DNA sequence: GTAGCCTTGAAC
DNA sequence: GTTCAAGGCTAC
């Protein structure tokens, strides 16, 4: 019997001795509140007195039942209190879910009246407890609880503990890419441990002094993880309920706006077994989200230098360390645990580093001059091109021109806006601070139409790179309001962005150069940073956040947003036209076979794989936008003070994305006629999984972003920090440090 | 070495 | 007092 089952039985046993009508304890209530979005609580209260009018209503009912394991059962018991449900029925929910479900639905109808059906508890209807909610992200075995930062099985917990405590040094006899699952997890300890780290298990949670008992400092993070998990479960549940609606006879498969599940007279219809989803990806998504929220932005990052003093000796990845080998390899290859690359500079771990040590002669010259960058042809669009700038770095000097232009660009509104710097402790010498405090020149319709000869064609040309070829802007049917707003906000920005596009498009990258044309690449990235900040500071919701928090969010998310933008752009190109090529932001096709640095080439290959994965998902413009916002609005970013507001936005967008993917993933619903032939050939993704699959790509994006950052930092270091000195890219690369 | 179960104790 | 995520124990 697993620990989980034992606990479950113990729990049921303990419940059997409780009074049925015993009130919920304060602790339980606090935990319930703590794990939920406050808005959900309000909705739940409302739901107590009204008929659910939408799936969201139903969802919130589900949420009421959908606590973490014990909490969930707790709620079930309390929800059933009025029904005088005995403990046998609770027990039956394990052994005979069908019977229990029928009973539950009957009781639900009796309790709520006709037309109101409680959403089946995941425990009995969706088998969440034994589904994606309980699969170890490392091996897929059954989860036994939170261990070292995330939900894992007992064996991986033990394995992780043994490895860290005993300073194991594993080796992989293959290519360090072994499949880790329940049956094969013993085969390769190296890859198993690697996966443990990749999914987010925390080294620092293993106690150096081996003190038993007690709780650790991750409590709040664990709670947040639970909240995220519940959020995902809710979305998943919406997908299934909607899919199920479409399958119900006489349901017409059409959402006529009356989305409440009126099962009057046939309460068991909903019992028709929901299509059992492939649940495993959700577990990975969950762990990925944990990775997203807990690793890189967490104050408890894996990085050794962030560890408590008493644990530091565990993680000194220096050659003389008593803890060598495996950690060096993982710090080297697993960027998910090495966000703060600057702190790693004392040890050589990165393949980029090795390469550049071996090829220093080719990487130190600035001899190649990118004329389009250093001397923007359109001097009119750069009124401050001759401005003074203290930056002496090549990229910094280039950036200053765009920065000066942006700072000096007049507001088209003709009004003066006071920037909200309340409570701000900004370092106004920072480029990012300066940019975020700028009043944004809002778009006007004129900006699209005044220049008939150049403007519109450019706008269309440019927008065609960003707007989905398979997305009809006029088709706003079934688009959640939140996403509609995002789209409007994004479109407004695209009109202003045109000012910079020409400058970007003039860039030319020559990959055949010995140095990979790194200066030009950095310059392009630097400009993209400007555009990204420009985009963010006028974006919906982001404008409402204090500027110092805006800066922190941007510094945490910038590279992932850039990568998502690039991937999106590439996805808009027919696959056949860019085989083995990266579609650069300047429109250039970069053949990765021309990349000479093997590490960079490998990174490029991973990027293209990621692009391919997104292609297969057939993600659409609203989904792309939502993903960017989800990356940007990360409440776990270190030092952010408006976490609840940010989390609120995150949840809002998550819900909207879930709703949209459910409504638009069905090829018959989405605008399949406008898909490219290559897209039509792609097998449509299971509609119940698309939401998860999209979010599942975020860890990949993060890994690619982290490796890219490491690469850029190494390049900069190779040039004594002068390559990116004084430019926005350099500032972004320094991450949160400069802001703390 | 693995993995299931047990014990512990700080946080709640 | 309860919870739950640590470490420990031990059969395999």
Map out the domains of chain A with their CATH numbers.
133-204 (3.30.50.10), 465-664+689-734 (1.10.565.10)
pLDDT in tens, A329-383: 443 433 333 333 222 222 222 222 322 233 332 322 222 222 222 222 333 333 3
Angle between helices A621-632 and A547-571 (to 10 degrees): 150
pLDDT in tens, A247-291: 444 333 333 332 222 222 222 222 222 222 222 223 333 333 333
Q: Per mean pLDDT, which of A310-324, A417-431, A725-739 is the most reliable?
A: A725-739
Burial label, A696 (beta-carbon count in 10 A; 0-12, 13-18, 19+): buried
Q: Per mean pLDDT, which of A28-37, A277-286, A669-678 is the most reliable?
A: A669-678
Tokens of A402: 């765009």
pTM, whole model, 2 decimals? 0.48
What is the arithmetic mean of pLDDT over A570-590?
A: 87
The whole-number pLDDT of residue A32 equals 31
Q: For residues A398 and A618, which has the higher predicted lDDT (pLDDT)? A: A618
pLDDT in tens, A294-336: 333 333 333 333 333 333 333 333 322 333 333 434 434 333 3
Nearest residue for B11, CA–C1': A215
Nucleotide nearest to A161 (CA to C1'): C7
The whole-number pLDDT of residue A159 equals 95
Q: Which residues touch strand B (CB under 7 A)?
A: A 1-3, 5-6, 27, 30, 141, 153-156, 158-159, 162, 166, 185-186, 189, 211-215, 219-220
pLDDT above 70 covers what percent of chain A?
41
Q: Does position A205 have pLDDT exceeding 60, yes or no?
A: yes
The whole-number pLDDT of residue A13 equals 38
The whole-number pLDDT of residue A207 equals 87
Q: Which nucleotides of B are covered by protein (CB under 7 A)?
A: 1-12
* DSSP line for A674-722: GS-HHHHHSPPPPTTTHHHHHHHHHHHHHHHHHHHHHHHHHHHHHTTT-
Nearest residue for B8, CA–C1': A213
Give the CA A27 to C1' C6 distance in Å: 22
pLDDT band at A559 (very low <50, low <70, confident <90, very high): very high
pLDDT in tens, A111-123: 333 222 232 332 3
Give the CA A141 to C1' C7 distance in Å: 22
SS (H, E, C) A271-291: HCCCCCCCCHHHHHHHHHHHH
pLDDT band at A565 (very low <50, low <70, confident <90, very high): very high
What is the arithmetic mean of pLDDT over A92-108?
A: 33
Burial label, A231 (beta-carbon count in 10 A; 0-12, 13-18, 19+): buried
Q: Residue A590: which H helix or E strand, with range?
A: strand A589-591
Give the 3-state secondary structure of residue A146: strand
Q: Which nucleotides of C are covered by protein (CB under 7 A)?
A: 1-9
Tokens of A660: 């949209």
pLDDT band at A156 (very low <50, low <70, confident <90, very high): very high
**Phi, psi (degrees; rounded to nearest 5) at A313:** -65, -20
């Amino acid at each position: 019997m697993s620990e989980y089952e034992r606990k479950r039985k113990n729990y049921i046993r303990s419940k059997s001795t409780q009074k049925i009508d015993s009130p919920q304890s304060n602790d339980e209530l606090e935990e319930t509140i703590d794990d939920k979005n406050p808005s959900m609580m309000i909705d739940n209260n409302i739901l107590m007195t009204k008929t659910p009018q939408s799936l969201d209503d139903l969802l919130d009912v589900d949420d009421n039942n959908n606590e973490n394991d014990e909490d969930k059962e707790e709620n079930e018991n309390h929800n059933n209190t009025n029904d005088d449900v005995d403990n046998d029925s609770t027990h039956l929910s394990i052994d005979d879910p069908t019977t229990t479900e029928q009973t539950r639905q009957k009781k639900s109808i009796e309790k709520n009246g006709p037309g109101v059906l409680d959403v089946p508890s995941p425990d009995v209807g969706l088998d969440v407890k034994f589904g994606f909610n309980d699969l170890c992200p490392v091996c897929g075995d059954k989860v036994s609880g939170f261990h070292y930062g995330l939900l894992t099985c007992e064996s991986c917990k033990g394995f992780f503990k043994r490895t860290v405590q005993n300073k194991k040094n594993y080796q992989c006899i293959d290519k360090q890419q072994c499949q880790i699952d329940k049956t094969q997890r013993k085969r390769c300890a190296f890859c198993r441990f690697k996966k443990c780290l990749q999914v987010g298990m925390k080294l620092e949670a293993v106690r150096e002094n081996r003190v038993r008992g007690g709780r650790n400092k991750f409590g709040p993070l664990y709670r947040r993880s639970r909240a995220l998990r519940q959020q995902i479960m809710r979305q998943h549940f919406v997908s299934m309920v909607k899919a199920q609606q479409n399958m119900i006879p006489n349901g017409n498969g059409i959402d006529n706006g009356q989305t409440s599940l009126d099962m009057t007279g046939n309460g068991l219809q909903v019992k028709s077994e929901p299509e059992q989803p492939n649940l495993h990806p959700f577990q990975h998504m969950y762990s990925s989200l944990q990775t997203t929220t807990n690793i890189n932005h967490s104050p408890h990052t894996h990085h050794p230098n962030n560890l408590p003093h008493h644990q530091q000796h565990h993680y000194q990845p220096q050659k003389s360390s008593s803890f060598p080998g495996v950690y060096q390899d993982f710090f080297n290859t697993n960027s998910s645990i090495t966000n703060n690359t600057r702190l790693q500079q004392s040890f050589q771990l990165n393949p980029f580093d090795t390469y550049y040590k071996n090829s220093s002669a080719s990487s130190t010259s600035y001899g190649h001059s990118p004329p389009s960058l250093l001397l923007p042809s359109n001097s009119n669009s750069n009124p401050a091109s001759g401005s003074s700038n203290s930056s002496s770095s090549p990229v910094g000097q280039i950036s200053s021109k765009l920065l000066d232009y942006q700072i000096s660009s007049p507001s088209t509104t003709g009004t003066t806006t006071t920037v909200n710097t309340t409570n701000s402790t900004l370092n106004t010498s920072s480029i990012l601070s300066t940019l975020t405090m700028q009043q944004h020149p809002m778009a006007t319709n004129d900006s699209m139409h005044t220049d008939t000869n150049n403007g519109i064609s450019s706008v269309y040309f440019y927008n065609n790179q960003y707007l989905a070829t398979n997305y009809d802007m006029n088709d706003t049917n079934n688009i959640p309001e939140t996403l509609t707003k995002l789209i409007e906000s994004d479109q407004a920005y695209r009109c202003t962005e045109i000012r910079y596009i020409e400058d970007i498009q003039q860039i030319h990258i020559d990959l055949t150069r010995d140095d990979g044309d790194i200066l030009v690449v950095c310059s392009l990235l630097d400009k993209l940073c400007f555009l990204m900040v420009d985009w963010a500071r006028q974006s919906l919701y982001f404008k409402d956040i204090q500027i110092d928090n805006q800066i922190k969010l941007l510094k945490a998310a910038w590279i992932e947003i850039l990568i998502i933008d690039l991937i999106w752009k590439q996805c808009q190109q027919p696959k056949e036209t860019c085989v083995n090529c990266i579609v650069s932001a300047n429109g250039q096709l970069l053949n990765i076979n021309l990349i000479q640095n093997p590490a960079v080439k490998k990174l490029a290959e991973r990027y293209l794989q990621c692009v391919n994965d997104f292609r297969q998902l057939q993600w659409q413009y609203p989904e792309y936008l939502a993903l960017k916002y989800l990356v940007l609005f990360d409440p776990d970013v270190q030092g952010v003070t408006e976490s609840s507001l940010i989390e609120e936005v995150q949840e809002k967008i998550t819900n909207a994305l879930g709703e949209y993917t459910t409504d638009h993933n069905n090829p018959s619903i989405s605008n399949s006629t406008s898909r490219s032939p290559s897209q039509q050939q792609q097998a449509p993704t299971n509609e119940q999984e698309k939401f998860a699959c999209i979010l599942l790509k975020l860890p990949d994006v993060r890994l690619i972003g982290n490796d890219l950052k490491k690469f850029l930092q190494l390049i900069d270091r190779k040039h004594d920090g002068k390559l990116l000195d004084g430019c926005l890219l350099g500032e972004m690369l320094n991450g949160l440090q400069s802001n703390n």
